[in-house]
Amino acid sequence: MSTFESSMAMKLVVIPVGVMLLGYILAVLLRKWPVVSAMLLAMGACGSLTAADWLLRGQADWWPADVTRRLHYFAWLAVLVVPMETLWRSSRAAWKHILLIICRAGVSSALAWQLTSVAEPRWMWVSAITSILTLLWTLLSLPLPISWLSLGTWAGIAGLAGALLTLSGSASLGLVSVAFGAVLGVLAFIHIKWPLTTWQAVAGVLAVTLMGLLVSGQQFAEVPISSGVLLLLSPLCVLLMLLPAIGQRNWINGLLGLTLALGVGGLSLWLTRINTPVEEKKETENPYLKYYQR
């Protein structure tokens, strides 16, 4: 392996995954305190995202002028909602769930406002992004039975988002998304053998990160709206696990959700390819032809 390839492997996989594993190990050690465990797992995911962004795109100022460099800040804001989500997930009190939705909407609207500085009309974009992200975050936070299949689905979607961003002219954001997908993939592999009950603390981080990456690609690159919306909604395919189990085997529902999610993601890539304008080849001038035409 060349020096460049080893350096890219470190930036894409080794260091981000290492940060995530540190958060996972601490979450396992403190699993007797579910709130602390969930916070540590979510912080590990955010830390890996921040590390990937800094390694692949260079370390920026604390508040960079490029709004796409602020995405990980909103992922960290999502971590602040984790304690309430962990404590109130099984609560029957309606006001707690309403307050949770308000908190998610607050983070969503802050992200939407930052990413729509060039959008017109801005209020419409902010309203749409806030509503979609709040709904996505809420649905992904529903209790699901099989952690490794859900995490594996999310990992595949993050990888497809990286491919979509790269095809649309934003390779740097694409690499960050691929690195985040690698982190989720390793976490899914670990959960096959050693599941952690607080794993859904990562759901909010995933929802905010995916929305931030795709909206950045739409606003500042060439991601088509149709492709972005399809890929953004594809994580909801894991909700098939909430349906009655097929033959008393819930993992079949999970595999169906994974297949459907990857199919929807693949469709979004196909739409990107057919919507990308093909540059017409310009005829090169032949100086000798001009000479003989005189």
pLDDT tens-digit series, residues 149-184? 999 999 999 999 999 999 888 888 999 999 999 999
Among 75, 89, 65, CA closest to 42 = 75
How far apart are alpha carbons 151 and 157 in whole angstroms?
Answer: 10
Whether 205 has a pLDDT exceeding 60, the answer reads yes
How far apart are alpha carbons 29 and 180 in whole angstroms?
Answer: 24
Over residues 126-134, mean pLDDT: 94
Using one digit for the tens of pLDDT, what is the confidence trace for 69-124?
889 999 999 999 999 999 988 788 889 999 999 999 999 999 999 988 877 888 99
Residues 6+ apart with CB under 8 A from 62: none
24 and 193 Cβ atoms separated by less than 8 Å: no
Among 246, 150, 247, CA closest to 206 = 150
Distance of CA 123 to the CA centre of its chain: 24
Whether 6 has a pLDDT exceeding 90, the answer reads no
Using one digit for the tens of pLDDT, what is the confidence trace for 243-291?
887 766 778 888 999 999 999 988 988 888 766 554 444 444 544 434 4
Q: Could you tell me the two tokens for 25?
A: 């190990």
219 and 119 Cβ atoms separated by less than 8 Å: yes
